[in-house]
Amino acid sequence: MDLASTIVFAGGEYRRYDEAKVGLLTHGLQYGTGCFEGIRGHWIPDERELYLVQLKEHYTRLHSSAKILLMTLPHTVDELVEITVNLCVRNRFQTDIYVRPCLFKSAETIGVRLHDIPDAFAIIPVPFGSYITTSHGLRLCVSSWRRAEDSMAPPRAKITGLYVNSALAKSEALMNGYDEAIMLTGDGDVAEGSAENLFIVRNGTLLTPDPSANVLEGCTRRSVMELAAREFNVPVVERQIARGELYAADEVFLTGTAAGIVHVASIDERVVGNGEMGPITAKIARMYARIVRGEEPRYRHWVTPTYAPRAQSATP
């Protein structure tokens, strides 16, 4: 299926991608005044089923991002879940996908502000494979770009304009031969990757920067913290992480909807452990991979099947 004929949800209707356009002066494009989500769908050929991952969690975060930006989503979380399932059914996807809901200031006028401007909402689903290569561990570098501060624009909201920060860091890393960047806070503590949260393992404890380190409060991050504690009895601590602890860590991994759970082989040329995926990372990554493919009955509430009878009968 090509992008032009993909069915999207825009302006309250299901329509073709090439019939859902925005103008050049659109506020969200000119000023980055918008917020968005990224949601994964995993196609399981044997079951002929597409599992959408943590829809409610993503749409709850979108509501929160919208509130921070003085915007209002025109649908409840439950309605958004239903619309997303319908969208996938209408597109008859039989492949892994990525769903991009976005809410943006839609006025075509000059003048930067948030209040008093209409919002527009769209959901665009696209076929999507791996985001970052996972066959080898990632080679990371600490970025020269610092993570945007909450006092500048809150990173806990997934704000369109804030992704310039991520893009600068990611391009710098790739252009210098690395796979991904780690951004530090203004104070020099570890924050996160360009589109992933970061975890380290030290002496059997799983550590991740707490939300005050200007990180996006990731859905995968929360899942990993839950799984580590509940399934594997691994203590989990949210706290400040110093740059030096990255180099001293036994294991390091990144988490994100697009990336999944990916192990880190080196940071700034220091090999992490022996460079291979460590045992705690492996346990969590294996379990998470099963859960998002609908293979763990106890975690079926983390996924929404697209083609199950409930979803089909819900198609308007």
Residues that bind ligand PLP (CB under 6 A): 38, 166, 192, 195-197, 216, 218-221, 255-257
Q: How many CB atoms lie within 10 A of CB 47?
A: 14
Establish whether 283 is a catalytic residue: no
Question: By the 8 A CB rule, do 268 and 243 touch?
Answer: no
Smallest separation, CB 38 to ligand PLP (Å): 5
Smallest separation, CB 164 to ligand PLP (Å): 12
Smallest separation, CB 203 to ligand PLP (Å): 25
3-state secondary structure of 282: helix
Q: Which of 179, 149, 176 is nearest to 165 (CA)?
A: 149
3-state secondary structure of 271: strand
* C-alpha span between 230 and 127 (Å, rounded): 33
Evaluated on CA atoms 41, 45, 46, 49, the torsion sign reads positive
Residue 117 or 173 with smaller CB distance to ligand PLP: 173
Smallest separation, CB 195 to ligand PLP (Å): 4
Residue 129 or 316 with smaller CB distance to ligand PLP: 129
Catalytic residue among 56, 158, 170, 283: 158
Residue 139 or 221 with smaller CB distance to ligand PLP: 221
* Run of H or E including 262: strand 260-267
Q: Which residue is nearest to ligand PLP (CB)?
A: 218
The span from the first CA to the last CA of the chain, in angstroms, equals: 22
Residue 34 or 256 with smaller CB distance to ligand PLP: 256
Q: Which residues are catalytic?
A: 158
